[in-house]
Structure 1
Amino acid sequence: MDLVVMAAAVAFGIFAIVWLLRNDRPVWRSLGFTVNRWTLLDIVIGLAIPLAVIGLVFLVEWGLGAIRVAAGASDWSGLGGALGEIVFYAVFEEVLFRVLMLTALVILLRRLAAGRWIAVAVVALIFGAVHLTNENATLIGAFGTALGGLIYGIAYLGTRAIWLPLFLHISWNLSQALWGFPVSGSTRWPGWVTSTSVDGAELLNGGAYGPEAGLPGMLARVAIIALVFVYLKLIWPGGSIRTLTFAPDPVKRRVTAAAA
């Protein structure tokens, strides 16, 4: 990952933490590190949605003849290490892009009516752009990855917690690996089937970058965004898609202490 982007994210994070402290906001809860009655449901929903949607992408691409399907991995001894790697990268990227960078941009743009949407879009574009350094990366693949950034940003601001975006991220990558797809250009993780791209069908299969660079994969991203909004509206019916506000922001520490 570009060191400039990492340094910028850390700088944004420092700004966000200082602003939260100066404004008497609970830092850890404001950054999304909070456990509440919705946490377990966030984790379950985060795991379930991409698993189902990527399974549908697999069936669509197979049915359209865009991939060749063969037997999966015969040796699963490295599964634990592969899972740990997927989880590590998801945690690292969510902390960097959503917890640090997105939180800071929301603070900076808080006076704009569309400030949250602008912040989510900017961070999503940066998130997609940094994946241009991945193996087999393309501009189309980076755009598909940016759509993922939209998903995670919406989930993060919608729940005001890290859990839904984190497990959506983990499940998206893990599901691609299990269905034998490249994961953002990488094929080093085992799957229960092997899905090989058919030459000339890159519009459908995304080529060597994986489903994110293909039309079914991008439509899957859009479907996940819609499902995330359904989930958010079910929990917070009064939430607004227009302003991207659902779960309430943590209140000031002094107000909380006074109420107690």
Structure 2
Amino acid sequence: MEFAVMGVAAAFGIFAIVWLARNRRPIGRSLGFTVSRWTVPEILVGLAIPLLVIGLVFLVEWALGAIRVGAGAEDWSGLGGAVGEIIFFAVFEEVLFRVLLLTALVILLRRLSAGRWIAVAIVAVIFGAVHLTNDNATLIGAFGTALGGVIYGIAYLGTRAIWLPLFLHISWNLSQALWGFPVSGTTRWPGWVTSTSVEGGEVLNGGAYGPEAGVPGMLARLVIIALVFLYLKLVWKDGSIRTLTFAPDPLKHPKPTVAA
């Protein structure tokens, strides 16, 4: 499935680039590869939100007895490699799903009033389905992962830049690892505590797949969506949730401006 999705995303990406070139759009900026005065805030917001929210998920699951908490990793020598691996996968997935596939779908559906939301939903479903090949994957876990795809899609289209979705993605995975949770079925990364799933508590802790497959983790996804919209409305006051338009078109407005 992964190779098929990669092939489709590459084809859609080529279509998007050709369309942008033919319509005299700035290709790099239209694909989200832009640096502005909002880049650093978007990176910081992207890092902070999941770190805070996953910390709350940890406290909730611990308080409800859904996890057993133990000592963290004794050997941190592999931390640099773990962080590098998390960053690599986040960059790869964001370029594949948001920069290439989502951009192309937005172009194709641009004449529909709900076109952007439809595009976000389609890519999110594909994003969740691809993770069914992960270790310990379940349909519920894939649904939770798809909610993550909704977050990153909103952040990408809302800011018209790669930074907020990328660092939300990095921070979500890194925060789960640091709190000792499985990360979409993966448990090879060190954490400052270990969070072991309690048998029978899979509805809350997500089992071996991790918080994404549990109720608190899914609710956390919804909280993040709300916080992302809050950030977007603070920066672009006239932005529309209904049409999912916030940051100005890079062709018409070379630099995004803060709302008065």
**TM-score, shorter chain, exceeding 0.5:** yes
Q: Report the counterpart of residue 133 of structure 2 in structure 1.
A: 133
CA shift for structure 1 position 162: 0.0
Unaligned runs of 5+ in 2: 255-260
Residue matched to 2:225: 225
1:50 aligns with 2:56: no
**Alignment pair present for 1:174 and 2:174:** yes
Aligned residue in 2 for 1:85 = 85
1:103-158 deviation digits (Å, cap 9, x = unpaired): 00000000000000000000000000000000000000000000000000000000
Helix, strand or coil: the match of 1:69?
A: strand
Moved over 3 A (4+): none
- One-letter code aligned to 1:70: G
Question: What is the alpha-carbon distance in structure 2 between the residues aligned to residue 158 and residue 178 of structure 1?
Answer: 28
Q: How far apart are the structure 2 equivalents of 1:148 and 1:238?
A: 25
Letter in structure 2 aligned against 1:8: V
Provide the C-alpha distance between the structure 2 equivalents of 1:214 and 1:201, rounded to a whole number of angstroms.
Answer: 9
Per-residue Cα deviation, 1:215-255 (whole angstroms, up to 9, x for no partner): 00000000000000000000000000000000012116xx9
Q: TM-score, normalised by structure 1?
A: 0.97
Match in the other structure for 1:103: 103
Question: What are the residue-to-residue correspondences of 1:152-171 with 2, within 5 Å?
Answer: 152-171=152-171
Aligned amino acid, residue 114 of structure 2: A
For residues 177-233 of structure 1, give each alpha carbon's deviation from its aligned partner in whole angstroms, at most 9, with x where no partner exists.
000000000000000000000010100000000000000000000000000000000
Q: Distance in 2 between matches of 1:84 and 1:203?
A: 31
- Aligned partners of 2:12, 2:225: CA distance in 1, in Å? 26
* Aligned residue identity for 2:43: I
RMSD over equivalenced CA pairs, Å: 1.0
Correspondences of 1:5-154 after superposition (within 5 Å)? 5-154=5-154
Q: Given residue 74 of structure 2, which amino acid in structure 1 is its aligned partner?
A: S
Structure 2 letter corresponding to 1:160? R
Query: For the residues of structure 1 that align with 2:222 and 2:94, how far apart are their CA atoms?
Result: 19
Amino acid at match of 1:149: G
Which residue is equivalent to 1:187? Answer: 187
Q: Which runs of 5 or more structure 1 residues have no equivalent in the other structure?
A: none
- Per-residue CA distance 1:12-48 (angstroms, 9 max, x = gap): 0000000000000000000000000100000000000
Distance 1:12 1:234 in 2: 32
Aligned counterparts of 2:126 and 2:65: Cα–Cα separation in 1: 33
Query: Partner residue of 2:258?
Result: none
Q: Secondary structure at the match of 1:35?
A: coil
Instruction: Describe the SS at the equivalent of 2:190.
Output: coil
Q: Structure 2-normalised TM-score? A: 0.97
State the one-letter code of the partner of 1:93: E
Query: In 2, Cα distance between the equivalents of 1:73 and 1:248?
Result: 45
Letter in 2 for 1:143: F
Distance 2:19 2:81 in 1: 38
Task: Give, as a single letter, the amino acid of the residue that structure 2 aligns with 1:192.
Answer: W
